[in-house]
Amino acid sequence: MAKQMKVRFAPSPTGPFHIGGARSALFNWLVARHAGGSFLVRIEDTDLSRSSRESEENIKESMRWLGLDWDEGIDVGGPNGPYRQTERLEIYQREVQRLISEGKAYYCYCSQEELEQERQEQLKEGRTPVYGGHCRHLTEEQIARYKEEGRKPVVRLRVPEGETIAFDDMVRGHVEFQSSGVGDFIIMKSDGIPVYNFAVVVDDSLMGVTHVIRAEEHLSNTPRQIAIYHALGYEVPQFGHISLILGADHKKMSKRHGATSVTAYKDMGYLPEAVVNYLALLGWAPKGEQEIFSREELIRAFSMDRVSSNDAVFDIEKLNWINFQYMKKLSPEELLDFVLPFLEKAGYVQQPLTEEKKDWLRQVVWYVRDRISYGAQAPEQVRMFFEDVPPFEDPEVVDILKQDTSAVILKAFIEALEALPDFTEEAVTAAFKAVMKSTGIKGKAAFEPARIALTGVTKGPGMYEMIALFGREKTLALLRKALAFCKG
Ligand code: GLU
């Protein structure tokens, strides 16, 4: 029976969860869910100075937010734990000792200075610097002397010379490296901590990982890792190296291009389903024109053979468009719940809310929904419900209010609204239409002064609905104030 497919995501917790990491996690998750395989998450924290629990928590929390659940690994457990590399040091020690006893690895006592000198000499001769193999065949006496000098050894892998290391990458096709360019590299540092390449191979092997799908930046590590698989006698998994995510200027995506962490997008009011949908399209090209995919549709349609080896460009406009599509699916109730934190943060709303206020807010938010691509845009769009109309200073605005017709229409509109028994959208619409008819002022000449009076600007979403939501008192106060300005 074929081995069950198992993929993994193995983040180093050295900072907030990056959007690129999220995409790697997502691709692995989709591959697993598509094939009915298993998805494992392991924490690679051997870089002690850069790793933190805080980052680990952020990664796990962000993955949960995105709905990328894992079947085995950190927090959920499984038969191959522990799943944090710093808790697996004994396992790496054991494997290193095995390699040493089999003659496939050896202690190296060379000092930094000696290695540097060798490097400089190789560079001078125009050669690629690789370790020359000084400690490959040390005698007992030499070892004893080095120990006496207090030298602390590292462990190096004995890399067979003159071999071609080749593999078929799921994204990049056939890839070849020459082992002579690799040299005997370090697998364990003098403090007993394994290097990334060694730990990753031991873990992927012992944890039964069948497919290693990760960022392109690890492509150059792969020949070293394959050499380690061979030495350890473990089966080499399938590799797939997905391309980098670039900013709009085609440089590697960084803070300069805007937010890079998943948390930042969450905090800006993007929906997890939209982020997942967008990230799936970063490098994966579905068949056909469809762009909005539910989670189930993604699982069904995703395949690594449609993942491009070209770099993917992060396009915030497209993410905004996708998020907008998902926000449109929210009910009035859900939309309010989603944007409420942003309104609170803007100081527009204070908890606790009465049912009446909540009901009104729900209508207000629903009213501007076509203008909000993500949550943080909400306060700006509902501003006119909470803030005073700015003073009439803009020359264009002043010009409009100073037209003779403006005072006429505002005055007539005020009178009509004062007389309204019910201040509903329908009643307000009828009143304004009647005023246009009786004054003979229509179109821009009628609407612009009214809009300016109510919001300070000439454009915005539907005026009658806004007036009904403002209510009688606020509307009349604003219209009277503008009328005074017209006459003044
Ligand atoms: N821990 C590595 C990183 O975060 C990933 C290793 C791998 O996927 O092989 O870059």
Per-residue pLDDT of the chain (488 residues; tens, 9 = 90+): 567 999 999 999 999 999 999 999 999 999 999 999 999 999 999 999 999 999 999 999 999 999 999 999 999 999 999 999 999 999 999 999 999 999 999 999 999 999 999 999 999 999 889 999 999 999 999 999 999 999 999 999 999 989 999 999 999 999 999 988 889 999 999 999 999 999 999 999 999 999 999 999 999 999 999 999 999 999 999 999 999 999 988 888 888 888 899 999 999 999 999 999 999 999 999 999 999 999 999 999 999 999 999 999 999 999 999 999 999 999 999 999 999 999 999 999 999 999 999 999 999 999 999 999 999 999 999 999 999 999 999 999 999 999 999 999 999 999 999 999 999 999 999 999 999 999 999 999 999 999 999 999 999 889 999 999 999 999 999 999 999 999 88
Q: What is the CATH number of the domain that holds 372?
A: 1.10.8
Q: How far is the CA of 157 from the centre of ligand 1 (A)?
A: 20
Task: Tell whether 372 is covered by a domain.
Answer: yes
224 lines ligand 1 (CB under 6 A): no
In a domain, 336, yes or no: yes
CATH number, domain containing residue 470: 1.10.10.350
**Co-location of 165 and 252 in the same domain:** no
Query: Relative to the CA of 221, which ligand 1 atom is closest?
Result: 9
With a 6 A CB cut-off, is 7 part of the ligand 1 pocket? no
Task: Kindly state whether residues 46 and 102 are assigned to the same domain.
Answer: no
Q: Is 10 close to ligand 1, i.e. is its CB under 6 Å away?
A: yes
Q: Are residues 119 and 221 in the same domain?
A: yes
Pocket of ligand 1, candidates 8, 12, 24: which has the most ligand atoms within 8 Å of its Cβ, to mutate?
A: 12
End-to-end Cα separation, the chain, in angstroms? 89
Catalytic: which of 255, 442, 444, 487?
255
Q: Is 242 in the pocket of ligand 1 (CB under 6 A)?
A: no
Q: Which atom of ligand 1 is nearest to the CA of 217?
A: 10
Counting from 1 in the atom list of ligand 1, the atom nearest the Cα of 225 is 9
C-beta atoms surrounding 15 within 10 Å? 17
Alpha-carbon distance 108 to 184, whole Å?
10
Q: How far is the CA of 437 from the centre of ligand 1 (A)?
A: 71
> Could you tell me if 170 and 266 lie in one domain?
no
The pLDDT of residue 425 is 97
Choose the final residue of a domain: 242, 259, 285: 242
Instruction: Judge if the beta carbon of residue 241 lies within 6 A of ligand 1.
Output: no
Q: How far apart are CA 54 and CA 392, in angstroms?
A: 50
The CA-CA-CA angle for residues 163, 165, 169, to 5°, reads: 165
In eight-state DSSP terms, residue 216 is: G
Neighbours of 208 (CB within 10 A): 19
Do 250 and 306 have their domain in common? Answer: yes
Query: Which residues, 6+ apart, have CB-to-CB distance to 425 below 8 Å?
Result: 464, 465, 467, 468
| CB-ligand 1 contact for 482 (6 Å cutoff) | no
pLDDT (0 to 100) of residue 161: 87
Q: Is 218 in the pocket of ligand 1 (CB under 6 A)?
A: yes
Residue 138 lies in a domain: yes
The residue among 343, 362, 385 that closes a domain is: 385
Q: Is the CB of 11 under 6 A from ligand 1?
A: yes
d(CA 184, CA 253): 34
In a domain, 206, yes or no: yes
* Range 133-164 burial, b when 16+ CB lie within 10 A, else e: eebeebeeeeeeebeeeebebbbbbbbeeebe
Q: Is 437 in the active site?
A: no
Q: Domain range for residue 108? A: 88-242
Peptide linkage before 395 cis (omega within 30 of 0): no
Residue 432 forms part of a structural domain: yes
Q: How many domains does the chain have?
A: 4
Distance 459 CA to ligand 1 centre (A): 51
Give me the pLDDT at residue 416, please. 97
Query: 236 and 94, same structural domain?
Result: yes
Residue pointed to by tokens 């938010």: 365
Q: Is residue 324 part of a domain?
A: no
In angstroms, what is the span from residue 13 Cα to ligand 1's centroid?
10
pLDDT at 182: 86
* Residue from 9, 218, 219, 245 to probe ligand 1 pocket by mutation (most atoms less than 8 Å from CB): 218
Same domain, 232 and 258: no
CA–CA distance, 90 with 146 (Å, rounded to integer): 25
* 38 C-beta closer than 6 A to ligand 1: no
pLDDT of 1 reads 56
Residue 1 placed within a domain: no
What separation in Å is there between the alpha carbon of 12 and the centre of ligand 1?
6
* Closest to 436 measured CA to CA, from 460, 408, 459: 408
Distances from the Cα of 421 to the Cαs of 416, 424, 426, 472, in angstroms? Answer: 10, 9, 12, 10
In angstroms, what is the span from residue 11 Cα to ligand 1's centroid?
A: 5
Look up the CATH number of the domain holding residue 224.
Answer: 3.40.50.620
Residue 236 and residue 101 share a domain: yes
Query: Is the same domain home to 203 and 137?
Result: yes
Q: Is 421 exposed, middle or buried (0-12, 13-18, 19+ CB in 10 A)?
A: exposed
**Which ligand 1 atom sits nearest the alpha carbon of residue 8?**
8
Question: Are 345 and 202 part of one and the same domain?
Answer: no
CA of 104 to the centre of ligand 1 (A): 25
Please indicate, yes or no, whether residues 237 and 194 belong to a single structural domain of this protein.
yes
pLDDT score at 2: 66
| Domain edge (last residue) among 363, 385, 407 | 385
323 domain residue, yes or no: no
If asked whether residues 369 and 399 sit together in one domain, one would say no
Does residue 371 have its Cβ closer than 6 Å to ligand 1?
Answer: no
